[in-house]
């Protein structure tokens, strides 16, 4: 089961044939329902951590911490699903830029 999660998580970084990024494709497929976002964020973080390059772990941890905070706001009804997706998308782009620079 763990290997399957790691493989699925690694596929998020594969370049899709379309112009969309792997992140955008995964966002569209992910179920966003109130009360489940924090759990999903923690699960995603746990699955992705082992496949991150050691040099990017600090940036990855910061991104995921912010994503869990956004998930808490979404679960509490303080932001909409669109705002939640926009926040995590912005963090992903920031992470990708920092990782590309490293």
71 CB-near residues (< 8 Å, 6+ apart): 37, 38, 40, 41, 84
Count of domains forming the chain: 1
The H-assigned helical ranges of 1-102 are 2-11, 22-29, 37-48, 57-75, 81-101
Which structural domain, as residue segments, surrounds residue 39?
Answer: 2-101
Question: What pTM did the predictor assign?
Answer: 0.64
Average pLDDT, the chain: 77
Model confidence pLDDT, tens digit, residues 33-51: 677 888 888 888 888 888 8
């Amino acid at each position: 089961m763990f290997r399957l999660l790691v493989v699925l998580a690694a596929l998020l970084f594969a370049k899709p044939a379309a112009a969309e990024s792997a992140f955008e494709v995964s966002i569209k497929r992910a179920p966003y329902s109130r009360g489940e976002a924090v759990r999903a964020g923690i699960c995603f973080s746990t699955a992705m951590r082992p496949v991150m390059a050691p040099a990017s772990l600090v940036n990855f941890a910061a991104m995921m911490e912010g994503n869990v905070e956004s998930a808490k706001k979404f679960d509490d009804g303080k932001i909409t699903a669109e705002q939640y997706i926009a926040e995590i998308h912005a963090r992903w782009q920031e992470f990708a830029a920092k990782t590309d620079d490293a």
